[in-house]
Amino acid sequence: MKRTIILKTEAELKEARINRQNETNRKRRERYAADPEYRKKMMIKNRISHRARSGATEWPLQENLENLSNYGSERTVVIDGCSHCLQTFSVREIAEVFEYHLLAIYRWFKLKVFPRPSVLVAGATIGNAGCYVYTAEQVERLMQVMIEHQKYQLHLRRDHTETIEKLFQAVE
């Protein structure tokens, strides 16, 4: 029995390869859209791959959270009408802890994606730029939300509503 060998032209081979790729990509997109676990797994994998290719490093938020006592300042604040001396954080100190530029934090305030500080510093006049701060407990909760967020996203945007809700709940 003779075998017949069918030689395909290079154009036919290229077309067949493109058709296989398109079919594989279609199946992958369908699975990505339908399977949240797969989508989450792929987001993490892509993020790790991007960081490896670009040479980007992880944000050291976890490390900064563990060393939170090295940041912030002792201030007398008014909570429920009573004065307390607590470790607190100004917006500038928050930017330092989160390792974001100060203007990025103010931009987040303007876009309403990050909560403004709500604890009044004792003796400050309302309207004074430095009269509101975050407590250490609020900062810890904010950092935990951002640590979780940064596992899946590089940036904080307006369409990250779930993270934004958690951030605002963290300062309540």
Distance (Å, whole) CA 48 – CA 101 = 24
Do 32 and 86 lie in one domain? The reply is no
**Residue 23 domain-assigned?**
yes
**Considering only CA atoms, which of 29, 40, 51, 144 is closest in space to residue 98?**
144
Do 29 and 112 lie in one domain? The reply is no
Do 50 and 65 lie in one domain? The reply is no
Do 45 and 65 lie in one domain? The reply is no
Distance (Å, whole) CA 66 – CA 143 = 10
Domain that holds residue 154: 61-170
* Chain segment 127-162, per-residue pLDDT in tens: 555 588 899 999 999 999 998 888 777 778 899 999
**Considering only CA atoms, which of 19, 42, 18 is closest in space to residue 31?**
42
Do 157 and 88 lie in one domain? The reply is yes
**Residue 3 domain-assigned?**
no
Buried (b) or exposed (e) across 105-129, using 16+ Cβ within 10 A? beebeeeebbbebebebeebeeeee
Confidence check: pLDDT of 166 > 70: yes
* Chain segment 104-135, per-residue pLDDT in tens: 999 999 999 999 998 878 776 665 555 888 99
Do 73 and 119 lie in one domain? The reply is yes
Do 84 and 129 lie in one domain? The reply is yes
Do 40 and 72 lie in one domain? The reply is no
